[in-house]
Amino acid sequence: MKQYKIAIVGSGIIGMTCALYLSKLNNIQITLYGKFPKHSDYKTTAILKTSFNLFKSIININEDDENIQKLKKFKIIDQLRSSEKILDFDSFELEMDCFAYNIKDSLLSDKLIKQIKKSKNIIHIDEFINSINNNLQEVIIDYKGKRNHHDLVIAADGRDSIVRNKNLISVERLKYQENILITEIDHSKHHENTSYEIHRNGSLLTSVPTSNNTSAIVYIDNPENIKKKNGRILTDYFNQLLGSYLGNIETNRTHNIFPSETLRVNKLYTNRCILIGESAHVIPPIGAQGLNLGLRDIEVIYNLLNSYKNIDPGSKIITSKYNHLRWSDIYKRYKSVNLLYQSMMNYNFKNFIIRNIGMITLQKSKTIRNVLLQEGMVLKKNK
């Protein structure tokens, strides 16, 4: 069987996962470019139950690990108007024992790095790439004065992707006014495997379990409000909003702040390059969708390369099929998550009507709740 050379640029969680997953194919040699990442200790990712098997097939990871929390329920508390509305979702509604597994990015990364170091099928080049020359015949990567030739380049180099920019793939990128603060809290009550999302006019506060009496916090608000809430004021704020669910809350940890933004591209490939993960799509952190979307990019590439082993992986048959197969899923998540985000952050009469209809429908109709949950969990195949 002919052997092909595939490069993956970017060794974040998506790049490393892609390298390990594709290394199961015996007709490709993988080169992974980039420095291994260092993650904030407060950053966690809820991996949907439907995506978890992908990790199980490449690293030593187990749902019963004490460092992984099962998310069985989520509660949306809508406080956009004076009267509070509450929506409860339980994984039992889908006859599942949980929706997702929450894990610290630092732990997931460590496991991926360990496995990459062991893999015989992956060459890891611990350098950033400087440039890329991509045409229909071949693709050449420049790094540190050296040049490597590849049949296909998979860009996993994040939201500022050099591969995307050098290939002039046009991008729609919107920086929202808000920032995202992440930290971790201790609480006196057990979280009951529940994630709480408090929607307010112009802000969002989410807690996601990390151990029996700790939860990760994702707090989105305008930068001035975030700046004002330092030290005790921040802890008081968490107590005011989450105290009735989680008991007495304390946090003596620091926090990290990220910009809130969203990004999508007008196509997912050009010549012999394809885009995956945040080089192709960035969405606000609501409903555990971002990384999971990237994991589905990886599954599609794997299936294509596995089904067409005798075809050059950088040929248009593969790259355009990838674009075709991923387009609608990415577009749907991008639109729905951004609509939900904007309806919270930019609360006007039109958004109020849309939200109100949505909330009432979800409270009353079991069928619609089920459709939404199945869609969020990707239980139905995306076309």
Ligand X SMILES: Cc1cc2nc3c(=O)[nH]c(=O)nc-3n(C[C@H](O)[C@H](O)[C@H](O)COP(=O)(O)OP(=O)(O)OC[C@H]3O[C@@H](n4cnc5c(N)ncnc54)[C@H](O)[C@@H]3O)c2cc1C
Residues that bind ligand X (CB under 6 A): 9-15, 33-35, 37, 45-46, 128-129, 156-158, 162, 180, 182, 218, 258, 277-278, 285, 288-292, 294
Q: How far is the CB of 11 from ligand X (least distance, A)?
A: 6
Considering beta carbons, is residue 278 or 329 the nearer one to ligand X? 278
Closest distance of CB 17 from ligand X, Å: 8
Of 106 and 121, the one with the shorter C-beta distance to ligand X is 106
285 or 314, CB closer to ligand X?
285
Nearest to 284 by CA among 324, 326, 343, 328: 343
Q: Looking at beta carbons only, is 144 or 383 nearer to ligand X?
A: 144
Question: Minimum CB separation from ligand X for residue 353, in Å?
Answer: 29
Other beta carbons within 10 Å of 225? 15
Closer residue to ligand X, CB minimum distance, 85 or 159: 159
- The angle subtended at Cα 337 by Cα 169 and Cα 36, nearest 5°, is 60
- Minimal distance, residue 215 CB to ligand X, in Å: 13
Output the smallest distance, CB 10 to ligand X, in A: 3
> Considering beta carbons, is residue 13 or 234 the nearer one to ligand X?
13
List the alpha helices (DSSP H) in the chain.
13-22, 49-56, 105-118, 162-166, 223-228, 231-246, 290-307, 316-345, 349-364, 366-376
Residue for token digits 């904007």?
A: 342
Alpha carbons 206 and 74: distance in angstroms, whole number: 10
Cβ distance to ligand X smaller for residue 33 or 89: 33
Check: CB of residue 175 under 8 Å from CB of residue 165.
no
Q: Which of 291, 300, 292 is nearest to 268 (CA)?
A: 300
CB of residue 187 to ligand X, shortest distance in Å: 19
Based on DSSP, count helices (H) and strands (E) in the chain, helices before strands. 10, 21
Angstrom distance (rounded) from CA 10 to CA 156: 5
- Choose between 114 and 316: whose C-beta lies nearer to ligand X: 114
- Please, what's the b/e burial string for 348-369 (b: 16 or more CB within 10 A of its CB; e: otherwise)? eeebeeebeebbeebeeeeeeb
- In sequence order, what are the beta bridge partners of 285? none
Q: Provide the token pair at 91.
A: 């994984």
- Closest separation between CB of residue 341 and ligand X, Å? 13
- Give CA 262 to chain center in angstroms: 12
- The minimum distance between CB 15 and ligand X, in angstroms, equals 6
Q: Closest-CB residue for ligand X?
A: 12
